[in-house]
Amino acid sequence: MDEEQVGRDGFAFDGDWRDYAPIAFTNLLLTIVTLGIYRFWATTRTRRYLWANTRFIDDRLEWTGTGKELFVGFLMVILLIGLPFLFIQFGAQALILQGRAGLAGILTMLALLVIFYMAGLARFRALRYRLSRTW
């Protein structure tokens, strides 16, 4: 990236794929070996590399987040959102088998509305997390 373009938008990236390749291959291998559990720590390593090689008006960015934070957040989502929706799904099917299809439809529509709300909330919280861990 030339200096004229850096002056216009303020951002520049100095990394090289040769520097990132060992990180990417290690992350891939460890993610496969741990059946996906290492994904959170791999994301942290990738962000540290990308942030460290990104300049904004002559200052380097720094990623201060940890893989443990991402993993705990994932577990919270599974427990607080995943399990209730699992019970709602099986509850709706049980209501249909009992002949209460209308009540099951209302329950399913409410669950769908909550999912749409949670998707927007999740995007906001993810952006907020990334910005709060960037220096």
Confidence band (pLDDT; 50, 70, 90) for 56? Answer: confident
Question: Quick one: which of 111, 104, 105, 48 has its CA closest to 85?
Answer: 111
Per-residue pLDDT for 4 more than 80? Answer: no
Q: Would you state the pLDDT for residue 20? A: 95
36 and 70 Cβ atoms separated by less than 8 Å: no
Question: What are the domain boundaries of the chain?
Answer: 1-63, 65-135
Per-residue pLDDT for 25 more than 90? Answer: yes
Per-residue pLDDT for 5 more than 60? Answer: no
125 and 132 Cβ atoms separated by less than 8 Å: no
Percentage of the chain lying above the pLDDT 90 cut: 73
Cβ neighbors of 68 (< 8 A, separation 6 or more) are 40
pLDDT in tens, 81-126: 889 899 999 999 999 999 999 999 999 999 999 999 999 999 999 9
pTM for the full predicted model: 0.77
Spatial separation of the C-alpha atoms in residues 119 and 36, rounded to whole Å? 22
Confidence band (pLDDT; 50, 70, 90) for 58? Answer: confident
